Amino acid sequence: MLTIKRVPTVLSNYQEDVCNNDQSVGCGRNCLGNCCLPVSKLHLYEFKKNEDVSVENSTVMFCAEGSPLSFLSNLLMGMWEERMRRGLFRYDVTICETKVIPGKYGFIAQLNEGRHLKKRPTEFRVDQVLQPFDESKFNFTKVGQEEVLFRFEPGNSDKSHFFPCLPVDVDTSSPNVVTINVSPIEYGHVLLIPHVLDRLPQRIDHESFFLALHLAKEVADPFFRIGFNSLGAFATINHLHFQAYYLAVHFPIEKAPTQMLMTGKGLHDRRVMVLQLLNYPVRGLVFEGGNSARDLSDAVANSCICLQNHNIAFNVLISDCGKRIYLFPQCYAEKQAVGQVSQELLDTQVNPAVWEISGHMVLKRRKDYEEASEESAWRLLAEVSVSEHRFQEVKALISESAGLQDGLEGNGMDREEDIHKPLANQVPSCFHKDCLVLR
């Protein structure tokens, strides 16, 4: 069993909430557990249903510089700022120095000495991507409701709606919540927790990923990105969550050139495209296109589930308002645990999760911040990448899973979400007929 000692875990602050929920009911702490949540009131944002392709295409126009901020963006930032004024964060992240490192890619460095003051050992193994939920460990049902900004649920109409302070109805479904991250990496750092009461472990499933994609689309800001870290890829809590924040510069990963790898089948020649990153220290794939957001979402989710089932740790970045999704397999945690990482890199205490891989590095020591260069960032990230050989395997796995888009998926998907799937290393002997793989 492999473990890493020094990985931080987010702790919750307990304070009064905004909806004036009666604290005499529930456990008295106004948490997000079964004791308190069903008798609480939270803001609710219901996002629109848009199956129509033409509606989808119009959102291409909407997400760009110069377009007005979306309602959800205003809601999120307004409530985040309100929590700042209430003192719910451990520090003001806008006081942390940050800069774009000169170079071709423009890696982003931040000096944040206060982020990891309270350290806890990682409470789970880092060599297993799929691990069952453990109630005794920290999870988000233990968080105070003052940290919740709003619920994020699918609506039934073609317009989005906002309902302030609505009683939570847990009978219909377990609520999805967006909470603050009390140790923010950047302004607006939030967590999306799908079906919080279901206590899902940290692994991708189709519905949750689609929810995350919807958040990106509804915020409609190209500088609001959503990230996911699997276990073994520096997720710190084994309770399903996505992270997101605003940073209005392009991430280095977004500037990396790509090459077309394969396409799936789609209606009207609007296929999901899978591309490979070029000239970037970490090997990774990019998903784009698709006849609908659901197509794109499912292609990525299929791929993630495939990696999960083969015990390959990975990170996902949803960028460009949900139009571009990056997937990186990685092995840094394993390397660290078996002592394969140089002491120099270990000393920086950078855990390369999705943000670091995308090019946003939070540094704890001033020395590292002052001396940060494109070369040092590249060197660190090169350690994170899986080898070329492993990457070829990953591509082969994904070519099979991403090809399943034309209604053939059916029951196969549910089986893959079973916890105790054996760790087989299968390489398919034939490709789906609509996939074109360049090796």
Please give the residue ranges that form the binding site for other proteins (CB under 8 A). Answer: 57, 60-61, 64-69, 71, 73-75, 77-82, 85, 94-100, 102, 106, 108, 161-162, 164, 187-188, 222-223, 246-250, 254-255, 257-260, 263, 269-271, 273, 275, 278-279, 288-289, 320, 323-324, 433-434, 436, 438-439
CB closer to other proteins, 299 vs 345: 299
Q: How many beta carbons lie within 10 A of that of residue 139, not counting itself?
A: 23
Q: Can you tell me the distance from the alpha carbon of 141 to that of 118, in angstroms, rounded to the nearest whole number?
A: 20
Amino acid at 275: L
CB closer to other proteins, 284 vs 289: 289
CB closer to other proteins, 205 vs 218: 218
Q: Name the minimum Å distance from CB 43 to other proteins.
A: 10
Q: What are the residues whose beta carbons fall under 8 Å from the beta carbon of 160, sequence distance 6 or more? A: 45, 46, 47, 48, 71, 72, 218
CB closer to other proteins, 5 vs 439: 439
**Is 12 within 8 Å of 345 (Cβ atoms)?**
no
Helices marked H in 239-358: 252-255, 293-309, 332-337, 343-347, 354-358
Q: Name the minimum Å distance from CB 170 to other proteins.
A: 24
Q: Can you tell me the distance from the alpha carbon of 109 to that of 245, in angstroms, rounded to the nearest whole number?
A: 15
Q: Name the minimum Å distance from CB 194 to other proteins.
A: 24
Cβ-defined contacts of 28-35 (< 8 Å, 24+): 29/144, 30/144, 30/145, 30/146, 31/141, 31/142, 31/143, 31/144, 31/145, 32/140, 32/141, 32/142, 32/143, 32/144, 32/145, 32/148, 32/177, 32/196, 32/197, 33/141, 33/142, 33/197, 34/141, 34/197
Q: Name the minimum Å distance from CB 162 to other proteins.
A: 5
**Is 306 within 8 Å of 397 (Cβ atoms)?**
yes
Q: Can you tell me the distance from the alpha carbon of 388 to that of 78, in angstroms, rounded to the nearest whole number?
A: 45
Verify whether residue 241 is a known catalytic residue. Answer: yes
Q: Name the minimum Å distance from CB 58 to other proteins.
A: 10
Q: Which of the following is catalytic: 43, 206, 239, 241?
A: 241
**Secondary structure element (H or E) that encloses residue 215, with its range:** helix 206-219
Q: Name the minimum Å distance from CB 202 to other proteins.
A: 28
CB closer to other proteins, 195 vs 250: 250
CB closer to other proteins, 75 vs 404: 75
Q: Name the minimum Å distance from CB 288 to other proteins.
A: 6
Amino acid at 385: S
Q: Can you tell me the distance from the alpha carbon of 386 to that of 332, in angstroms, rounded to the nearest whole number?
A: 8
**Is 139 within 8 Å of 390 (Cβ atoms)?**
no
Size of the chain in residues:
439
Write out the catalytic residue numbers. Answer: 241
